[in-house]
Amino acid sequence: AQRVTQPEKLLSVFKGAPVELKCNYSYSGSPELFWYVQYSRQRLQLLLRHISRESIKGFTADLNKGETSFHLKKPFAQEEDSAMYYCALSGGTSYGKLTFGQGTILTVHP
Amino acid sequence: GAVVSQHPSWVICKSGTSVKIECRSLDFQATTMFWYRQFPKQSLMLMATSNEGSKATYEQGVEKDKFLINHASLTLSTLTVTSAHPEDSSFYICSASSFRGSRLGEQYFGPGTRLTVT
């Protein structure tokens, strides 16, 4: 069975501080990992995926297969980063269905 | 970017009645649509995966006779909550995807439908 764990339900940082949102997964095969974000009063949207190895809005995430982690990082948090962040795993099924973590609410204080 | 709409955005119905929620991909053809349920302050729970022209695949524990899903075209999927009860009150979200290969798992989400059963 596949599982995604986000241990922090709430995370608060000050503007300009580094931020790391943790994500651990459990999956027997080769997973595809994603970070989705939901800003206030907006729909869920894709932030980044591990396979693209890109930085979006200053965020990066590296897949660590040894630690089965996919932590999301940003060196200098901004107030507009305040949102709900979900880590998600696609287990390589034919249709790409996602298993979501519980989500982390990030609040960036001025 | 791709847009997914849901209708209605909120609905109140009486216990025992049925409610239909529509999910449309507005500017792309969605070969696969997904239906999720989200309880307050909780994560999204996948209910079913729907492919155009075929029967939906339901997740374990989801009653397929209660939550009827139809994916009649590449731009429309519907979720019908039959004989709704107060415990069916929830936020229902759909998503759509047309990706394959390395982009599997990339989904475009609708804004959600708030269902309240009285």
Mean pLDDT of B85-93: 95
Test A96 with B99 for CB contact under 8 angstroms: yes
- Asked if B3 reaches chain A (Cβ–Cβ under 8 Å), the answer is no
Interface membership of A107 toward B (CB under 8 Å): no
List the 63-82 stretch of B: residues with Cβ below 8 A of A. none
> Amino acid identity, residue B58?
Y
The DSSP H or E segment spanning B45 is strand B44-51
Of B51-55, B85-89, B93-97, the poorest mean pLDDT is in: B51-55
Q: What percent of chain A has pLDDT over 90?
A: 73
Residue B7 scores a pLDDT above 80: yes
Phi, psi of B99 (to 5 degrees): -90, 155
Tell me, what's the pLDDT at A57? 92
Interface contact flag, B110 A43, Cβ < 8 Å:
yes
* Residue A60 structure tokens: 């990066």
SS3 of residue A74 by DSSP: strand
Mean pLDDT of A47-54: 84
Gap between the Cα atoms of B69 and B61, Å rounded: 15
Instruction: In whole angstroms, give the CA distance from residue A20 to residue B94.
Output: 29
For A26-45, write each residue's pLDDT tens digit: 988 888 899 999 999 899 99
Q: What is the pLDDT of residue A85?
A: 97
Cβ-nearest to A32 among B104, B110, B111? B104
Would an 8 Å CB–CB cutoff place A88 in contact with chain B? yes
A101 close contact with B: CB closer than 8 A: yes
Report percent pLDDT > 70 for chain A.
Answer: 96
pLDDT(A74) > 80:
yes
Q: Which of A49, A96, A103 sits opposite B43 (nearest CB)?
A: A103
Residue B17 has pLDDT above 70, yes or no: yes
Taking an 8 Å cut-off on Cβ atoms, the answer to whether B104 and A96 are in contact is yes
Residue A96: list chain B partners with CB under 8 A.
32, 97, 99, 104-107
